[in-house]
Structure 1
């Protein structure tokens, strides 16, 4: 007697079904990796151009140009992007200005992360009176319009790179503190935190061994977003003459200088504005994609 053969569907095979389930997950991981790699590569390229470009391409000094060579057009001999009203090489000023902006943004975010992150972690972990005092003081700073107060502080201290860093870092500390406190409050309810407390682990060891590594992703992500914000504010301060003073190059004061002859030479404004746009966009995309990648784990 013939035995009826039951057709086997491809979807009935457990291995094939498992592969179908893993395919979307692999595509999602690939997209997240690409989302981090592309803006990360742009940031690395910008940093390398600003810090290594002037040396590798033997660019002239960004200051002390020859006034007889002012307003040279792009692709002039020895001046790829031309010169400004003072005869300074635009490409050189663009890269040295980017170096200053990146250094200020990094310094501001490192100060905010270290000081604000420490205050926020202490506030969230210790709680009680310590939490109340720290957060009320920081709330007072957050309540004021940060940009207005930054302008006031910069005006009071005077235009310089050091004063710009202090003025911006002063207002980045509360933001980092709130991010750190929020992350610590979530971690404090985790089982490993209860186990560490039951074992009598000292508070400083809990902060550095357990809390710091677990709050680092949130703080780093916030720092990447903060890099773009600081670069914009520093550009605004330099544009108003309260950041990096002339003749030192900065994207902000390059825009301020270029607007004086905007109708005749618009590229004097376009180049630093484009550099600001690409840099801030790269840091924002990197921060957003890092946040999405780490939150998906």
Structure 2
């Protein structure tokens, strides 16, 4: 019994507790730092890689050099059936997918965040009308609604962003509303209102800074969803129009010759997997970090 008590006391020494705390902090930093590093690496590879590596254009390849295997001179990942460099198309396709994801989430955060915050702050009939309108949009299956809008607008990069923004805004608005309701009930917001602060100043300087972290965490999760949905639209021919590359239409083009050249599907699929997994892990770990704080 005495030996057990001594071992327990040894485990509870200040040095042991300090090591345990530092280890826990390191693990938290790694769970956020690793996916963040992968995300930054993706952006750097897609936007700087084609310039630094002096890669050929992603379209207009030489058909005489079609279907070259990986490791061919001047083509590290080979070429597709049209003679286009696969690595160049992969990185330029990543540019399109990441631009769409960033733009859609920026629109969602701006418009959806403003709508949700106003609905919660104003309350009453304004809140009811705004939220019922958003409920109507949320009631539609998001992918079906996006496909319908993309079909009407036609395939292009701006139209893809608009189509995907249609289902990003309601989700952000609901998160902004719930966060604003929680912050509005806090004493410092009530004190600002009682002190004569205009509603727009209270919303902008007191509520928004406390709501923004939750919206940013939600946006990180939304990045992965948007990338997958954009890939689905491009796969169906409703997203980024060919011959311009995106990961979705690269998968579509590659599956037409899947048995002969499976790597044409593998490379964009792996890129899509890494991007979505990294954004999802970053969003979840940021959310856990903010919840802990």
Provide TM-score, normalisation by structure 1. 0.94
Match of residue 230, structure 1, among 226, 229, 232: 226
Write the distance in 2 (CA, Å) between the matches of 1:39 and 1:268.
26
CA distance in 2, matches of 1:292, 1:210: 23
Tell whether the 8 Å contact from 1:32 to 1:292 is kept in structure 2 after alignment.
Answer: no
- Which residue of the other structure, out of 214, 217, 234, is the alignment partner of 2:213? 217
Q: Does 1:249 align with 2:245?
A: yes
Q: In 2, distance between residues paired with 1:24 and 1:74?
A: 47
Structure 2: state its 5+ residue gaps: 1-5
Q: Distance in 2 between matches of 1:170 and 1:139?
A: 13
1:20 Cα deviation (Å)?
A: 4.6
1:37 counterpart (24, 33, 36): 33
- In the alignment, the residues of structure 1 paired with residue 252 and residue 162 of structure 2 have an alpha-carbon distance, to the nearest angstrom, of 23
Q: Distance in 1 between matches of 2:128 and 2:249?
A: 42
Instruction: Give the Cα separation in 2 of the matches to 1:255 and 1:12.
Output: 60
Q: Does 1:111 align with 2:107?
A: yes
Partner of 1:263: 259
Aligned length: 287
| 2:3 aligned residue | none
* Partner of residue 120 from structure 2, selected from 113, 121, 124: 124
Q: Structure 1 residue 275 and structure 2 residue 271: aligned?
A: yes
**CA–CA separation in structure 2 for the residues paired with 1:294 and 1:203:** 27
Distance 1:53 1:41 in 2: 16
CA–CA distance in structure 1, aligned partners of residues 8 and 15 of structure 2: 10
Task: Using the TM superposition, give the Cα deviation of residue 27 of structure 1 relative to its aligned residue in structure 2, in angstroms.
Answer: 2.6
Pair 1:84–1:10, CA change in 2 (3 A): closer
Query: Is 1:207 aligned to 2:203, yes or no?
Result: yes
Which of these residues, 69, 73, 77, is aligned with residue 73 of structure 1?
69
Deviation at 1:29, TM superposition (A): 2.0
Determine helix, strand or coil for the equivalent of 2:256. helix
How many angstroms apart in 2 are the aligned matches of 1:29 and 1:107?
33
Residue of structure 2 in register with 1:180 after alignment: 176
Structure 1 unaligned spans of 5+: 1-8
State the distance in 2 between where 1:266 and 1:22 align.
Answer: 52
The alpha carbon displacement at 1:228 in A equals 0.4
Shift of 1:189: 1.1
Corresponding residue for 2:283? 287
CA deviations over 1:124-177 (Å, ceiling 9, x no partner): 111011101110100000001110011111111100001000000011000000
